[in-house]
Structure 1
Amino acid sequence: MMHPRRPVRVVAAVVAAAVLAVTGACAGPLGGQAVPAAEATPVAAVTSSPALDATDLSPVQPVTLSVAQGTISALTLTSPTGAEVKGTLSADRTSWTLAEPLGYGKTYTVTGTAMGSDGKAVPIQGSYSTVSPAEKMTSKISPGDDAVVGVAAPVIIRFGSEPVDRSLIQQHVTITTTPQVEGAWAWVTHDGDSWPSLDWRPKQYWPAGTTVHVSSDLYGLDLGGGTFGGDTVTSDFTIGRNQVVKADANAHTMVVQQDGVTVATYDASYGSGDVIGDPNRVTRSGTHIVMDKKETTTMSNPAYGYTDVTEHWAVRISDNGEFIHQNQATVADQGVDNVSHGCINLSAQDAQAYFQTAIYGDPVEVTGTSVQLSPADGDIFDWAIPWSEWTALADN
């Protein structure tokens, strides 16, 4: 008896299905093309603070690029001229930090490569652009580098534009003295200036031989209103020997002391204002400082009838016309009476001897007159301000 053929058809169908299954596994969605497996994303992750392509940055803003799950194999920051900017790569090569200030109004290009822990490279590309200030504030320090000055010389920092944000400015101005000296900053408007300077003076006179370092580090500071700090300046100077002048208008003498010891006593004549009742001819009492000196100069005071009178051995002690100088016309009055227009008159010999010892910043302590030295009397009046008032003039 013959068996039915049905099972044969079932086997053929199973084989056909298997063939189709194999063929379908290799076929793509279009035209039978194969689809490759997706490549894994590189694991190295690059971050930047501030973000790459940031603009309007301060040129002193910290800049750091970091890599997670990898290291920096190469990184360069270049200026618009192609010069390489200094940076520091960490020991583990996972971060790079900017190591020098940038310029204003410039775009810097970042190029480099990070290598991931998976062995795959990731490009580092971008830029940083710095702000273009509406105005850049400069500063100038007095005394300047290598100066040797007297024991009453204040530090004066003058600014090229009005210091609106005084507190911020003061935070970026420093003074270092050896030995350590007690003193304080104060905002003071000097004669002829349109806005205040920042002055520092010791509570007492400087110790002789003190070395002083002053820094005004304003570059990159946002001072408001589109004004940024335009420079960083420093000064290193030294305090010279201790010389103090004791100028007594009642005794009609001028005594020069060094380290508290009298080294010279001169007969002198002071302003006659207390005698004749004219305050404009009173030599101001208080601590002046030597500001300048000239062997020969001309002096004028048209209100009192003289113009371009030649004087010798002239040491300026304020900007209100007060000098210590030779005046042969008053020699007979020197040591006896006060007859000048406000200056301290000495003989030719004494004036020359004192002139040769005087340096900028020496204190000249005038006593015995009815009018006190004040801000109205000249450029450098720092010692005319009591210490308790001086310390209140800072932005703390």
Structure 2
Amino acid sequence: MSLVLVAGLALIAGCSGGSDGKSGSGGSAGGNTSKAEAAPVAKFTAVPADGAKDVAVNVPVQVSVAEGTLTEVSVTNPEGKAIQGQIAADKHTWTSTESLGYGKTYTYAGKATGTDNKTADLKGAFTTLTPTAKIRATVNPTDNQTVGVAMPISVKFDKPVKDRVAAQKALSVTPASDGTWAWLNPQQVNFRPSKYWPENTKVHVDAKLYGVAYGDGAYGVDDLTSDFTIGRNQVVKIDVPTHQLVVLRDGHQTASYPASFGLDNDAERTTPNGTFVVMQKDAKWSFDNPQYGYTNVVKKWAVRFSNHGEFIHENNDNAANIGKKNSSHGCANLLEADAKAYYDSSLIGDPVEVTGSITTLPAKYDWYDWQIPWSQWKTLSAS
């Protein structure tokens, strides 16, 4: 199909480059006309071009006219629904403001008034690409959460992403500070600043992933956004030999709770060194571990800070050792009243800094973003 003038006239086609790398084309006045009737002088250019195939769905459609002004333009899908768009103030260009659908044929229609005051008509069609696979993504934190100052932003994909550069270019964070995206595996990219977030920061995440080519014929399914807030600055410090769990607000100590940490002389049971992140809170949690001979062990006010298995929680059954001896399986045991007070003060995303242990946990147990040195973190960016 070519862009045509609806007046029973033959066509002269004009060409322009399309955004998808194909030739553009336009309808214009012209052809074999009688001396008594000259063709309209207005000339259309459409991008993508009439007849274009495999058109990208996330690039705006544009219709422009030379030697005239646009009076109406529509681009409709196979169901006859027009996509949204707008004619510019100078009436020389119409640009779509709505994404296209995959695997659809769209039809152009439009009119322009030429400098000769004659009306020229536009017709044409193009077809968008059909992915061989579609990849969905999710973003965390989600909208309206208030989180701690160590909270990473995580975008996870339901299939591996081959073209990570393209995917990462579609992601933005406001305010960006000095933060950087880092690919932790082929299906996950996280963002964090070099130091903890400033307290009370309003964060906006924009993931314009719809239509992004991930490689091997796979494309993004949806655009995603998230708006969340960084809360107050609270940091937990655990120096294992002291038997104390210290809570700091804005750098000032607000609490110090007697604790019993992991067994000092057992690398499998010690509370390991590292900067961890509060990732889960439960009023009750079962700590069954048949491998070590205990079942039906339910404790209160459980705050998980590593999916290696470390929590801060109540353990009144271990009261004799709390504040005196490290005897747990790796968790921080507190007396019930202290555990409740800490639980109520904590946020998902708070940092938990552990030092003084015989073991340092490798950076592989979620959420391990802060266990990766900043110099190394930056090398994990795709761009």
Q: TM-score, normalised by structure 2?
A: 0.87
Deviation readout 1:188-218 (Å, 9 max, x if unpaired): 14xxxxx441111121111111111111111
Flag structure 1 segments of 5+ consecutive residues without an equivalent. Answer: 1-35, 190-194
Corresponding residue to 1:257 among 240, 244, 248? 248
2:291 paired with 1:303:
yes
- The question of 1:197 aligning with 2:169 is answered no
Q: 306, 317, 320: which is aligned to 1:332? A: 320
Between the aligned partners of 1:361 and 1:214, the Cα distance in structure 2 is 16
Name 1:386's counterpart in structure 2. Answer: 373
Distance in 2, Cα, partners of 1:222 & 1:205:
33
Report the CA distance between 1:313 and its aligned residue: 1.0
User: 2:293 matched to 1:313?
Assistant: no
| 2:271 maps to which of 283, 289, 292 | 283
Q: Indicate if the aligned counterparts of 1:283 and 1:369 stay in contact, CA closer than 8 A.
A: yes
Name 2:51's counterpart in structure 1: 53
Q: Which residue of the partner structure matches residue 372 of structure 1?
A: 360
Tell me what 2:113 maps to: 115
Task: Give the counterpart letter for 2:182 in structure 1.
Answer: A
Q: Residue 333 of structure 2 corresponds to which residue in structure 1?
A: 345
CA–CA distance in 1 between the matches of 2:89 and 2:374? 51
Cα distance in 2, alignment partners of residues 64 and 182 from structure 1: 36
Could you tell me how far apart the structure 1 residues matched to 2:143 and 2:362 are? 29
- Give the AA of the match of 2:184: V
Identical positions, percent: 45
Counterpart contact for 1:186–1:391, Cα < 8 Å: yes
Taking the aligned partners of 2:105 and 2:121, their CA distance within structure 1 comes to: 20
> What CA distance in whole angstroms lies between the structure 1 residues aligned with 2:134 and 2:218?
6
Q: Which has the higher helix share?
A: 1
Q: Quote how far apart the aligned CAs of 1:298 are.
A: 0.8
1:243 deviates by 0.8
* In structure 2, C-alpha distance between the alignment counterparts of 1:172 and 1:297, rounded to whole Å: 39
Distance in 1, matches of 2:276 and 2:92, equals: 60
Which protein is bigger by CA-based radius of gyration? 1
Q: Is the 8 A contact 1:139 1:216 kept in 2?
A: no
Q: Which amino acid aligns with 1:230?
A: V
- Match of 2:160? 162
Deviation at 1:153, TM superposition (A): 0.8
For 1:246, the equivalent position in structure 2 comes to 237
**Structure 1: which amino acid aligns with 2:310?**
E
Paired position in structure 2 for 1:16: none
Alignment partners' CA distance in 1, 2:300 and 2:293: 19
Report the equivalent of 1:222: 213
Q: Could you list the per-position Cα deviations for residues 122-154 of structure 1 after superposition, in whole angstroms to 9, with x for gaps in the alignment? A: 221111221121222222111111110011111
Verify: 1:102 aligned to 2:89, yes or no.
no
Verify: 1:206 aligned to 2:202, yes or no: no
SS in 2 for 1:238: strand
What CA deviation, in whole Å up to 9, does each residue of 1:24-75 have, x standing for no partner? Answer: xxxxxxxxxxxx8564333222221221132221112232222222222322
The Cα offsets for residues 140-199 of structure 1, whole Å up to 9 and x where unpaired, read as 11111111001111111111221111111111100112xx6322211114xxxxx44111
**TM-score, normalising length from structure 1?**
0.85
Runs of 5+ consecutive residues of structure 2 not aligned to the other structure: 1-33
Asked if the contact 1:141–1:233 (Cα under 8 Å) also holds between the matched residues in 2, the reply is yes
- Could you list the runs of 4 or more consecutive aligned residues of structure 1 that deviate by over 6 angstroms after TM superposition? none
- Tell me the SS of whatever aligns to 2:54: strand
Paired letter, 2:377: W
Two-structure CA RMSD over aligned residues (Å): 1.6
Q: Tell me which amino acid in the other structure corresponds to 2:345.
A: T
After alignment, is 300-309 or 382-391 more displaced?
300-309
For 2:90 and 2:316, locate their aligned partners in 1 and report how far apart those are by CA, in whole Å: 79
Q: Secondary structure at the match of 2:82?
A: coil
